[in-house]
Structure 1
Amino acid sequence: MQGGTPTTRKVMVIAEPTRESAIALQYTLSHAIFEQDELILLHVGKYPSSRRNTFSTFMRRPKVGSSSAIACSDVGGGNVDFLEEMKHACKVAQPKLLVSVKRVEMEGKDKAGVILFLSKMLNIDLIFIGQRRSLSSSILGCRRPGGSMRGVEDTAEYLIENSNCNCVGVQKKGQNAGYLLNTKTHKNFWLLA
């Protein structure tokens, strides 16, 4: 902070029509972003998405004390664009927040590379991504002894390890059990919130 005015950060949430992405957005809005920040919802994938709109389904379950979860239940519908619904949830939660949506269509398999490129190009300060972990990967870990990843690399893990800015993988631990956060320096950090 210089001269009493807060600095503006560019915060990116990797947006997908999944429960994990909705959790990452929910965490970002409630714990990590300030009204002077700029929030960018980035979706990298094929269009049009034929996947069911799981964002509205997840956000319909009201969280105690959360007006954004309740307000989003009114927006639901099978053909609603999940990015516009996520943007609406942001505006309900923090009306003064500057929110933009970026869509990148891609056919290849280097989604993480595209996200890293865009984060550098847009000068992003902080990335949030919903993270899904199976029990076996949590217990055994994702890395081989030589340090390489097994099979196709997990996008969240790749971003966490290779991003120039801070990248946070977010998981929800039960209805009221808080969040499990992963960064390059802190693995499986449990936040009761």
Structure 2
Amino acid sequence: MLVVIASWLVFRHRPSRTTTLCLAVAVLGAVLTAGQVGAGSAAGVVFMFAAACWYTGYILVSSKVVQKVDSFTSITVVMFGASAAHILILALTNSHLPSDGKGWLATLGAAFFSTVIAMGFFFAGVRIVGPGEAAVLSTIEPVVSIVVGVTALHESLGIVRVTGAAMVLASVAVLARSAGMSGDDAGQRYSER
């Protein structure tokens, strides 16, 4: 939601009615999919909102950067920056690295598949459809988490979560099929900025 609003304010990219409706349905669906959340602390809420704002800025900046450089260069810069930040945190805290080959293999696999590959697809998507639509489309993540949880971890699946997942999938499908989302139109629209 923040990305669509910020994209409108910063880049004057007014979201279409379809995007706005899909965003509202996807956010509501994601809330239902996440399930009941505990009370939490005020500090936790502040940190989560700060993270959402930071990620919004990241997506908006990325939407402009990926228009000027290829996705591989973008991914390389992001990954080296993230690695440097992790090394700094490792040096400043009492953190530990994996102690055996299995730990390193799991770490490298997670880094490659869930970070490098995911970011590559995300940057390609931002380049094609723009930041707002990419943010709405990325709301499918909780649905994928549910599918993995149910199939691999044998978690239970209630009607509320199914309803939320269906809402997210429906909004993503509608957004992907909307007339303004054709690859040529969207790519042209964002490359002109």
Asked if TM exceeds 0.5, the reply is: no
RCO higher in 1 or 2 (8 Å CA, sep ≥ 6)? 2
Structure whose residues are more often helix by fraction: 2
Structure whose residues are more often strand by fraction: 1
**What TM-score comes out, normalization by structure 2 length?**
0.25
**What TM-score comes out, normalization by structure 1 length?**
0.25
- The structure number with the bigger radius of gyration is 2
